[in-house]
Amino acid sequence: MEMKRFEGQVAVVTGGARGIGRAVAERLASEGARVVIWDLKGAEEAAAALPGNALGLAVDVGQEASVAAAAERTEALCGQVDILVTAAGITGETRPVQGHPYDSWRRVVDIHLGGVFLCARSLLDGMVARDRGRIIAVASVAGKEGNPNASSYSAAKAGIIGFIKSLGKELAPTGVRANVIAPGLINAPLMEQLPPEQVAFSLSKIPQGRFGTVEECAAMIAFMASAECSFCSGAVFDLSGGRATY
């Protein structure tokens, strides 16, 4: 049965030009949302392929000025934002902490954790004023368990989980909900940035014996973005093939 849960709503998807973000953008648009893609590259092209008068903006989510400008332009062109999904990210260097350059480590944290903070903050005023909204952050099972040789990525994803738990409690008395999804390894372009041994390690930890799909992520996120997800505040939704059960 065709669903149109997001008819008349505006949804911002960071990292929406590829991977999980692209699948989420497609899913929300198919259910009636006007989608605005924020991405460093390819945002306009990705938006052009979506229904519903979608918009693409070039944004560096790790830079405060870039996010502020994108939020202002989005609200000027589309009105207030109802849904924010933060899916922008990079894996960073796969190497031990010993000898790991701080600039490289910090860039991963700035994009993931800093990006979630900046994007959420930029759109919260409108959501709170209207007493309606959904914020969904894409974290990772790495933020729960920590992956070896991926300290920046694991730390950033753990930080996202903690940030959304805090934000979810702040917003609980309102009609705005903030929750986080923690996928295991998903068969998406980001996986191509990992060395084969890291991919094999992650697969060995998944009881189902396979990688997740971007469509499975999009389906769960669509529920989290809907009015049906009303009694969750600061919750962590696992999508890990049985790897994380806590």
Best CA proximity match to 87, nearest among 179, 18, 161, 26: 18
Catalytic residue selected from 153, 159, 225, 234? 153
C-alpha to C-alpha distance for 15 and 202, rounded to whole angstroms? 23
Q: Let me know: does 143 contact 182? Beta carbons within 8 Å.
A: yes
Q: What is the DSSP string of 48-96?
A: HTSSSS-EEEE--TT-HHHHHHHHHHHHHHH-S--EEEE--------S-
Answer yes or no: 246 catalytic.
no
Q: What is the DSSP string of 98-154?
A: TT--HHHHHHHHIIIIIHHHHHHHHHHHHHHHHT-EEEEEE--THHHH--TT-HHHH
Which residues pair with residue 39 across a beta bridge? 58
DSSP H or E run through 246: none
Q: Any idea which residues carry the catalytic annotation?
A: 153
